[in-house]
Structure 1
């Protein structure tokens, strides 16, 4: 208990210094159980969730961190509606035009586009969406790391998502790295019509993303950063984008 309390105080102090946010209205809890440190609670957005987890891992002294943080969904969306929205968005995305799209409904698999026989064909894959209490789980297989990351971002883009667990397999296997993260974020920004991707530059070092460039509004600046935070397997985002006067 004392160890988790000490880590908690260090993490929350570092979080406030880094993000300039206080989470008094979003109670966070940490508890040690054997070789695991579990982090629970609700946070206002994906950036807060990723920051808290990264800071916890940095201060956990090698202890395994179990993520049970959830993003507050406002307004709340029912699991069925959220699952439908995500499946529709995946089906509409050019990036997944060759993928079979499925939903897991009450334990039963529903194929919404394509056939399972086609899932193994060259250039295709399968994405299965399950939603439980606002937590989206993606299973199946895709053909690139960029597509794997883009699937998570697509789920986050749909309002009402509280967390995304991406279990998509990569076939064929592909080594991850800074270039792969950069490629994925270019893909995401180009697909997000709310931002002008050509005005934003991306630099990735040791899985840490730095954004630069010029945009028209503060809202666009924040959206670009939010897109970056939605990517899986990153180590932070630094936003140096300027807003034109």
Structure 2
């Protein structure tokens, strides 16, 4: 068996065993050449997407991954509708109140919130085939992460490419991740963040505490997965009912 075929077979076998990745209902196309593995296809949710990338990247011989995995949208939307929802979410988010917001429509920038002397950042929003692309600059890693989650929360989003630059640059850390996850949980109206404890080690997040029901437990875990650079989530939340 050629090395290319061997790597593809190994990746497929490992993904088959992963509890988050449902290859039976959501089969993926795998291609491997010169150390580059391409994953393409639809996945059920953010957990499946990130787990597939994490598991595949750990296989011997895989040097780089091309990510073409797309979420099946909770509510199918046209690109313009997704873009409008993302822009409105960014504008209404107080944490991003000092960021100008621009919508990129057919390659041209349209003002959503105009820049002024009090602004310390700018966010460009473009959507192509359900994939939200964020470019520009923000003043903190937390702002970058919150903007990304706002885009993920739009039901029609199939993927989010967070290209926001942090100016001045900040060193990332587990503490930064914990702060961002806590901030996102507080902003989720379906989650009681006061009852949830967040830990992170090596960008692997652990959630502990008590939630009201299974749905809240699921929402809290999804929120953590949505946060930029979170590689793994261990959900130890207990349901009170």
Measured in 2, the distance between the counterparts of 1:215 and 1:5 equals 45
Aligned pairs, number: 241
Report the CA distance shift for 1:111/1:20 in structure 2 as closer, same or farther (over 3 A).
closer
- Measured after TM superposition, the shift of residue 9 of structure 1 is 4.1
Cα distance change on mapping 1:144 and 1:41 into 2, 3 Å: same
User: Matches of residues 1-245 of structure 1 in structure 2 within 5 Å?
Assistant: 2-19=2-19, 22-115=22-115, 118=116, 124-245=120-241
8 Å Cα contact 1:90/1:96 also seen in 2 = yes
The 1:18/1:242 distance shift into structure 2, 3 A limit, reads farther
Which consecutive unaligned segments of at least 5 residues does structure 2 have?
A: none
Structure 1 runs (4+) greater than 3 angstroms displaced: 1-18
**Rounded Cα–Cα distance in structure 2 between residues aligned with 1:106 and 1:195:** 37
Confirm or deny: 8 A CA contact 2:37 2:65 kept in the other structure: yes
Q: Do 2:35 and 2:62's aligned partners in 1 also have CA atoms closer than 8 Å?
A: no
Aligned CA distance change for structure 1 residues 177 and 34 (closer, same or farther; 3 Å):
same
- C-alpha separation in 2, matches of 1:157 and 1:57: 26
TM-score normalised by structure 2 residue count = 0.94
Preserved CA contact (<8 Å) 2:82 2:130: yes
Distance in structure 1 (CA, Å) of the matches to 2:122 and 2:20: 40
Structure 1: gaps (5+ residues): none
State whether residues 123 and 137 of structure 2, in contact with CA within 8 Å, keep that contact through their aligned partners in structure 1: yes
Residue pair 2:225, 2:231 contacting (<8 A) in 1 also? no
Q: Say if 1:11 and 1:52, in contact at 8 Å, map to a contact too.
A: no
2: distance between equivalents of 1:53 and 1:15? 10
1:67 shift after superposition? 0.6
SS in 1 for 2:169: coil
Local SS of the residue matching 2:77: coil
SS at match of 2:51: helix
Cα shift at 1:61 = 3.0
